[in-house]
Amino acid sequence: MSTAQVPSAGTDLAGASPGRRRWTLLDARLAPFVFLTPFLVVWIVFRIWPLIQAVEMSFQDVQGLQNNEWVGIENYQGVFENPQFMQAVTNTFVYTIMTLIILIPIPLVLAALLDRGRTYRPLVWRVSLFIPSLASLVVVSFLFRVILSENGLLNSALGTVGLPPQPWLTSASLAIPSLLIIATWRWVGINMLYFNSGLVNISRELYEAAAIDGAKATQQFWHITVPLLRPTIIFVLIISVIGGFQLFVEPFLLWSGGNSPSGGGLSVGLLIYRTAFTSFKFGDAAAMGVILALLILVVSLVVFRLAGGAKALR
């Protein structure tokens, strides 16, 4: 007859020794860090380290890979004394504010209309509005050089309704409006999808109850949709601010090399590029980059605060 084996005092019921069990728990705790290691390495090498190097370069007179001379805040003083930098900051601020005015309300209203089924074939509308965001910025910029030209499609459309043609690409005062036309065509669809993803999480029972109480569609929009969609609105606001301040490709390609009339389309990103790779003043360019990063941080925090801050995300 076989006898049952009684577990020894040094072995748990699962068949593993206490020491082995401790190693298993330790491995479980380390597993997330093991899987995150490749991402962290790439992030540090290509994000954190270049950022540190850029901040260091902003205090140096960069002559090459070596023998850089430390000049303190001299680069920053030169940047703030540069009239082109102040013009670029003004243009970038105006462009960013205008994109917020256009690319928040319009996509929000469109998303609400499509979500409530108040349009014909909403899926077709969603796809049609989203397709422009898939196009390459290079292609889009060259396309709008044709559309906004003197005899382009937009001026032809203005002529059909009795309006005079506009010098979109040759007038400094129309440089920002030209860039806004591109931004509206390209980003309305994707912002609409952001809002639509937030609307899916709003219970239909709230709208049904409001309708029973006699609330109209506009009242439901302001008192149900907007308050419950506030986290998504804050998200779109922040990414719109970041995207607006990083404006570069559109003015660079819409006007050859970014040579807009009287600098009307000059952005901070474009000026950084010119300073670094045309004038070869890498220290000044690094200082501009640091200032731009701080501007994005400050404006994003202000927008986040004005939109309700952390309370709106709860």
What domains lie within the chain, and their CATH numbers? 18-57 (no CATH), 74-313 (1.10.3720.10)
Confidence of residue 233 (pLDDT cuts 50, 70, 90): very high
Q: Closest by alpha carbon to 135, among 279, 249, 267, 217?
A: 249
Q: What is the pLDDT of residues 217-226, one digit of tens each?
A: 888 889 889 8
R_g of the chain, CA atoms, integer Å = 28
Chain centroid offset of residue 291 CA: 18
> Which two structure tokens, joined as six digits, stand for 153?
């499609």
Q: Closest by alpha carbon to 266, among 279, 254, 284?
A: 254
Q: Closest by alpha carbon to 178, among 144, 130, 221?
A: 144
* Per-residue pLDDT, 113: 86
Q: What is the pLDDT of residues 182-212, one digit of tens each?
A: 999 999 999 999 998 888 888 888 888 988 8
Q: Are 164 and 158 in contact (CB under 8 A)?
A: yes
pTM over 0.85: no
* Per-residue pLDDT, 127: 82
Angle formed at CA 38 by CA 37 and CA 39, multiple of 5 degrees: 90
Residue 55 has pLDDT above 80, yes or no: yes
Q: Determine the Cα–Cα distance for residues 238 and 82; give it in Å rounded to an integer.
A: 28
Collapsing DSSP to helix, strand or coil, 188 comes out as helix
Spatial neighbors of 59 by CB under 8 A, at least 6 apart, are 70, 71, 72, 73, 75, 283
Alpha helices (runs of H) in 116-248, residue ranges in sequence order: 122-130, 137-147, 153-160, 175-199, 204-212, 217-220, 226-228, 230-245
Confidence of residue 25 (pLDDT cuts 50, 70, 90): very low
Amino acid (1-letter code) at residue 201: N
Q: Determine the Cα–Cα distance for residues 297 and 240; give it in Å rounded to an integer.
A: 13
Q: Determine the Cα–Cα distance for residues 44 and 41; give it in Å rounded to an integer.
A: 5
Tokens 């860090």 correspond to what residue? 33
Q: Closest by alpha carbon to 234, among 198, 188, 190?
A: 198
Residue 171 has pLDDT above 70, yes or no: yes
Spatial neighbors of 119 by CB under 8 A, at least 6 apart, are 113, 125
Q: Determine the Cα–Cα distance for residues 174 and 178; give it in Å rounded to an integer.
A: 6
Q: What is the pLDDT of residues 61-108, one digit of tens each?
A: 887 666 678 888 999 999 999 999 999 999 999 999 999 999 999 999
